[in-house]
Amino acid sequence: MSYAAKRYDFHDKPADYARLREELAVLLAGENDLIANAANTCALIFAALPDVNWAGFYFLKAGELVVGPFQGKPARVRVALGHGVCGTSAARRQTLLVPDVHAFPGHIACDTAARSEIVVPLIVDGALLGVLDIDSPRPGRFDEADARGLESLTALFVAAAGQAAQASRP
C-alpha cells in the first residue's frame, strides 16, 4: 500500500472530510491492531489538516487517559478524567470545541504554540476507549464542520477497534 499525502484546502469542509474519510477507510481496511490504526489515523489527519500542530490519541487505562500514538511535540502522558480539555470531553462523552485554550479552565498546555483545540471522544460498544485530540496554533481554528468531519473519521477508527475487541474475545 502506498500513500501519497494530499493537502486539502478545506474550503469545503464536508467535501474534504468525506475525501479524507475514504483515504482513512483504505488505511484501516483489513487491519484491527489498535496502535497501528491509531498511528495511521493521526498521521493522516496531521498531514491533511491545515494549521494543526498536534494530533493524536489518549486511551483510557485504569481510570485515566494515557497518551497514545500522536504527531507533534512530546505531550503530557496522563490526564485525569474531568481534567483538561481531553479529560472533560472524555468525562462528558462529548466533542469539545475550544476556540481559545487560554479561556478554558484547567487547559493542559503541551505545546505552548497551541491556541485552539478540538477533542472527540471514542466510544466502543458503549464503553469509553479514549479521545482524539487536535491542537492548532490559530485561535478559533475548529468549527462545527470540523467537529462533524472528525467524528465521521473517528467513527471509522472506532468500528475497527470494535472489530478488534470482538476478535480478541474467546
> What residues line the site for ligand SME (CB under 6 A)?
54, 75-76, 79, 84-87, 107-108, 110, 114, 117, 133, 135
Contact between 41 and 24 under an 8 Å Cβ cutoff? The reply is: yes
Residue 135 β-bridge partners: 54, 117
Q: Shortest Cβ distance from residue 129 to ligand SME (Å)?
A: 16
**Is the CB of 81 or the CB of 159 nearer to ligand SME?**
81
Q: Shortest Cβ distance from residue 122 to ligand SME (Å)?
A: 15
C-alpha cell, 130: 479514549
Q: Shortest Cβ distance from residue 107 to ligand SME (Å)?
A: 5
Check residue 51 and report its DSSP letter.
S
**Is the CB of 23 or the CB of 114 nearer to ligand SME?**
114
**Is the CB of 96 or the CB of 153 nearer to ligand SME?**
96
Q: How far apart are CA 46 and CA 134, in angstroms?
A: 9
Residue least distant from ligand SME (Cβ): 84
Q: How far apart are CA 38 and CA 67, in angstroms?
A: 11
Contact between 134 and 45 under an 8 Å Cβ cutoff? The reply is: yes
**Is the CB of 16 or the CB of 46 nearer to ligand SME?**
46
Q: Shortest Cβ distance from residue 88 to ligand SME (Å)?
A: 7
C-alpha cell, 166: 470482538
